[in-house]
Amino acid sequence: MRLKDKVAVVTGAGSGIGKKIAESFLEEGAKVVFSDISDNQETSEENSIYIKCDVSDSEQVSQLIQKTVEKFGKIDVIVNNAGVGALGGILDVTNEGWDKVIGVNLSGTMYGMRETAKEMKKQGINGSIINISSILGKVGFNGALAYCASKGGVVQLTRAGAVDLAQDKIRVNAIAPGFIRTKMTEDVLKDEGFNNLVTSSTLLGHVGEVDDIANAAIYLASDEAKYVTGEVLYVDGGWTAK
């Protein structure tokens, strides 16, 4: 078991990529906090709990970390996965849409990094902070201005955080998924034109699965990645190689 005795928090773990990461961490021996904004969720898995949290609220993020420590005694890993999208390019993005995406995707990631790092440093834990960015943090995409900006910001949060925390032996890395098959992408991928765009832009010619991201997260959370920090791991089927 690659994560035996580690305590991990995964935000946005109610569905999709986050849920798969959290479940995979459990299978690898970790004690896991599933966190999401939704009410009335729970986990029946041994060595896991569910904690509701809106990551755009810094106080709720602080409480998430404190409740984790109260339950499991420490925190070794956080995956800042919670994210939202909003349609709109430079000419039609709304203030509301912009603020929501930046608040969750960028500020929420920073809050998770900050509060986790404080606890890791306090306990002297050589922990792992994993942020979920996107290929759209590197390349532009029509009608996704706020999302692209937020995910590009996550890349720089990762690099700057790695520099800040290196002296405390806390590693900070990011995973940048390509298009992954989830409930969130299910409808758009049913559109033949959009699906063709995705597959033709991906060197391997197909959409990714949630397992692909979970496997990357397991590696970065584990001691196998003990010499890896400040990196962005693109799991995108070759989209950004061109």
Is it the case that residue 188 has pLDDT exceeding 90? no
pLDDT of residue 86: 87
pLDDT of residue 44: 66
Is it the case that residue 89 has pLDDT exceeding 90? yes
pLDDT in tens, 18-57: 999 999 999 999 999 999 999 867 776 789 999 999 999 9
Which residue among 111, 147, 219, 234 is the active-site one?
147
Q: Quick check: is 147 catalytic?
A: yes
Mapping DSSP onto H, E and C, the string for the chain reads CCCCCCEEEECCCCCHHHHHHHHHHHHCCCEEEEEECCCCCCCCCCCEEEEECCCCCHHHHHHHHHHHHHHHCCCCEEEECCCCCCCECCCCCCHHHHHHHHHHHHHHHHHHHHHHHHHHHHHCCCCEEEEECCHHHCCCCCCEHHHHHHHHHHHHHHHHHHHHHHHHCCEEEEEEECCECCHHHHHHHHCHHHHHHHHHHCCCCCCECHHHHHHHHHHHHCHHHCCCCCCEEEECCCHHHC
For all residues of the chain together, what is the average pLDDT?
96
Q: Tell whether pTM > 0.85.
A: yes
% of the chain with per-residue pLDDT over 70 = 99
pLDDT of residue 187: 84
Domains (ranges, CATH) in the chain? 7-180+209-235 (3.40.50.720)
